[in-house]
Amino acid sequence: MRIGIIAHLKHPIAEPFAGGLEMHTHLLARSLRDRGHAVTLFASSKSEPEIGLEAICAETAIQAVGTTEATDVPFFREHHAYLSLMNDLRHRNFDIIHNNSLHYLPVAMADSLPMPMVTTLHTPPFCWLESGIRLCTGRNHNFVAVSRSVAGLWKHVTQSDTVIWNGIDLQKFAFHPQPDADPYLVWYGRIVPEKGLHLAIEAARQVGLPLKIAGPILDEDYYRTNIAPALGEDAIHVGHLAHQELARLVGGAQAFLCTPMWDEPYGLVVAEALASGVPVAAFARGAIPEILDATCGVLATPDDVASLAHAVLSALTLDRRACRTRAEDMCDADHMVDHYEALYQRQIDQATPPARADRTASIHLVPSTLPTHTPLVARSASHG
């Protein structure tokens, strides 16, 4: 298949990844290319060239330190990049477009494309994307949710035709049958208020184990006000690590603390910890209860530090092999890519013959015959 993947433009699709969406997009593009598909990734300019990059814009994330750029400039740069791309795609010879962008223009302009398009919903609704989706009239378009939680959150706007849970490269997060000799807990991810790192620091202190923290500081005010004053010998920020160092850090931990203060759409960090054999103590928010079961994790009352500390103590008793098994059953990237491949093929097959034969002609597409909320899962009929 000739597949075009539209990435978001805030951060490069390259290691070290700014977050789960960057890692997911990179993994999907690389895996599809490894399977012999012709993949073009439309992403920001510093993304990895080896995964089929066609740069459409410089990164649009606003740099908080030392920037003189007006805050509306990234918005218009991003708007122009997607507008130009969607106009260009009308004349390109792709079999299918996969929209991973979180931007309103690709969905709003889906009906202008001669080829089918799939849009993955990675987040809860927000105003700009919701507006674009309400304008989406492309009949050969399919919405995919990364969890049942996300599908439910979008239900008032659109039905998710399919649920495909995110996957990770299990080989990149090797199983650690034993934690490091010097015990510690781990927290990692984007250091922003909605990830709740300050609550993890408090809970780790109540447990009495040191906390090692990894991840990029993407909110300087939050870090300066809430995190930096709380750091010490028992709470250390080790920086934004490359993959190999991060996998080693996570795998050596006694337990992973996951502290979202929003409805987590999926939780790739949870999958990575489980793959490493590390039990999880997490706030019961969003899709996290879909990933964890009693063999691999313990859920805590959201925003409750005492409940989280109790969950950590319970998680320390869980079997590390059971954590790895859960990851293999629920979070294997090979199964995720299998499901996307099957979905792409169905979308292509449902396009009318004139659409496939003449990419520049006026086309009429038949509606998708996929039933609504049909879960496509990796070796499991349920996500949690």
CA distances from 189 to 27, 44, 205, 325, 384 (A): 17, 21, 19, 23, 22
CA gap 244, 113 in Å, rounded? 40
CA distances from 89 to 26, 43, 86, 105, 357 (A): 21, 14, 5, 13, 16
CA gap 61, 345 in Å, rounded? 34
CA gap 105, 71 in Å, rounded? 20
Strands 162-164 and 255-258: unpaired
- Label residue 29 exposed, middle or buried (CB < 10 Å: 0-12, 13-18, 19+): buried
Instruction: For tokens 């992973």, name the residue.
Output: 256
Are the CB atoms for 351 and 116 separated by under 8 Å? yes
Strands 141-145 and 96-99: unpaired
Instruction: Give the closest residue to 86 by CA, choosing from 56, 60, 63.
Output: 56
CA gap 327, 336 in Å, rounded? 13
CA distances from 295 to 195, 273, 320, 329, 357 (A): 24, 14, 9, 13, 51
Could you give the 3-state DSSP secondary structure of residue 39? strand
Q: Where are the domains of the chain?
A: 2-167+333-376, 170-330
Could you give the strand order of the β-sheet that contains 374-376, starting from the edge strand earlier in sequence?
53-57, 38-44, 2-6, 96-99, 117-121, 141-145, 162-164, 374-376
Instruction: For tokens 């408090």, name the residue.
Output: 202
In the predicted model, residues of the chain with pLDDT beneath 70 are 62-71, 352-384
CA 27 to chain centre: 10
What confidence score (pLDDT) does residue 284 get? 97
Which tens digit of pLDDT belongs to each residue from 237-289?
A: 999 998 899 999 999 999 999 999 999 999 899 999 999 999 999 999 999 99
Q: Among 3.30.200.20, 3.40.50.300, 3.40.50.2000, 3.30.465.10, what is the CATH number of 2-167+333-376?
A: 3.40.50.2000
- φ/ψ (deg, to 5) at 247: -60, -40
What confidence score (pLDDT) does residue 69 get? 56
Are the CB atoms for 277 and 173 separated by under 8 Å? no
The domains spanning 2-167+333-376 and 170-330 adopt the same CATH topology: yes
Angle at 32 between CA 31 and CA 34, to 5 degrees: 65
What confidence score (pLDDT) does residue 57 get? 87
Largest interatomic CA distance in the chain = 67
What confidence score (pLDDT) does residue 382 get? 33
Preceding amide of 16 cis, omega within 30: yes
CA gap 21, 141 in Å, rounded? 21
Instruction: Give the closest residue to 92 by CA, choosing from 188, 206, 2, 193.
Output: 2
CA gap 255, 318 in Å, rounded? 9
**Which residues does 52 contact at the CB level (< 8 Å), separation at least 6?**
29, 33, 38, 39, 40, 41
Q: Which residues pair with 2 in a beta bridge?
A: 38
CA distances from 273 to 107, 184, 259, 349 (A): 33, 14, 14, 38
| CATH number corresponding to 170-330 | 3.40.50.2000
Which tens digit of pLDDT belongs to each residue from 151-169?
A: 999 999 999 989 999 999 9
CB atoms within 10 A of CB 152: 14
Predicted TM-score (pTM) of this structure: 0.81
249-280: string of b/e by CB count within 10 Å (b at 16+)? bbbbbbbbbbbbbbbbbbbbbbbbbbbbbbbb
